[in-house]
Structure 1
Amino acid sequence: MDIQSKACCTRPPVTLTGGYDSYELKGRYTEYNGLKTYETGDSGAKRGIFVIYDVFGLYIQSLKGADILAHNYDELPDSAGKFQVFMPDFFGSHPQDLQNFPPKTPKQFKAISDFMNGYGYPPKTVPLIAPILADIQAKHPEIKSWAIVGFCWGGKIASLVCQKGTAFKAAAQCHPSLLDTEDAKKVAVPMCVLPSQDEVPKVTYLEYFTDQVHGWMTSRADFNNVHNYEEYLRGYRIVRTFFAQYL
């Protein structure tokens, strides 16, 4: 049975200030299989990472995270090498509505629930992965191996597409939602799991970030808090290192 993270549906994203909100992207937007996609990384890199963002879509913290996966970060030692990273915009103009967070009224709770059972229902997104990946591969034949990382609800999707016959060689879930031990039994590739304080360590565990909130690596990352920012970077360093081991 899926275990929904309560924080996923109640905690608002973090609006960055102090210059962090003006982060200059290293990549560009392009289109694959008709879907807007953020693409970043060295065009000669032979390893690819497919990113499934959280329910708030193309948030600046998520975009910066994609850049870190592709290029590393200046303050971090780099032993993993380079990757090409692709983050499709599955929600487009319909991510979770920020006006509903934190939810206080029955109408807001219903709107969040309707989203999770509509645009945010993982089985609706899963069939979109293969054709997007096929289009990327056709245009980037230099990429020889692939990993996938999902955040929040994206973690569920990563677990569903990484079963028998998958094109991915490794996977990661960060502050995952909708956890299900039955999914874990079917995963056919090495998977790195980074739960926050809001997930259930008895269900899944790898590196437990006990003082970080659900979403600390994407839309709920607080760069104005030095420790939280360091943990944000550490999370991405773990994922990059893990993928480098298997790709």
Structure 2
Amino acid sequence: MTAGFTGQVVLGVDALDDAPESWPVRGHHDLGRGAIADYVEDEVAAPDDETLRRQYLVHPGAVAVIALDDEDRVALVRQYRHPVRHRLIEPPAGLLDVADEAYLAAAQRELAEEVGVAATDWRVLVDLFTSPGILGETLRIYLARGLAPVDAPDGFVRRGEEAHMDTVWAPLDDLVGAVLGGRLHNPTLVSGTLAAWTAQHRGGFDTLRPADADWASREELLAATGRG
């Protein structure tokens, strides 16, 4: 028997939603501009009228793909990430930095560019804020199946770290074991791998959202920050 906690609040399934909310901004300061993200500080009015200073990165958002073949193997890349001084195993992913490009089209482009793969079956696997305490990045991870080789889009040239990454494959079950064993650390891989394994064993992939499902959390963030 497990003892309960006094005054505990247990949410029902219909209440398990992150709620959009935007506290008033009394001041905004640009602290630095980068190639991908800008570093800013906001003076935020808390509900008790205290002014909080919060520094964070403004980010365009990204998409990623867990591409699963008929033998339950996932297409991956190994890429150097300088801030953490590691070469990480990651799923194909890329920025939402092309004006008016649909989210699914961006994911399809990244899959072709990074691992030379196309897919016939696309589902939304999971949506997340990658590090909401310091980074305003929205990330949508897709599941792609029905894989086939494809050439990279015309004009695509790998630059920077991408010029030195390679394509690898790994069974989904092995990835789950490596994540839980503390051997794999990329948050996109961790989230996507665990979500894919969970979906597979909890009703099957047909229970996932369609590829064109609304991305409300991203749209709400863009609207709240004037970037919509």
Instruction: Please indicate, yes or no, whether the TM-score normalized by the shorter chain is above 0.5.
Output: no
Select the structure that is richer in helix.
1
Report which of the two structures shows the higher radius of gyration computed on alpha carbons. 2
TM-score (norm 1): 0.22
Select the structure that is richer in strand.
2
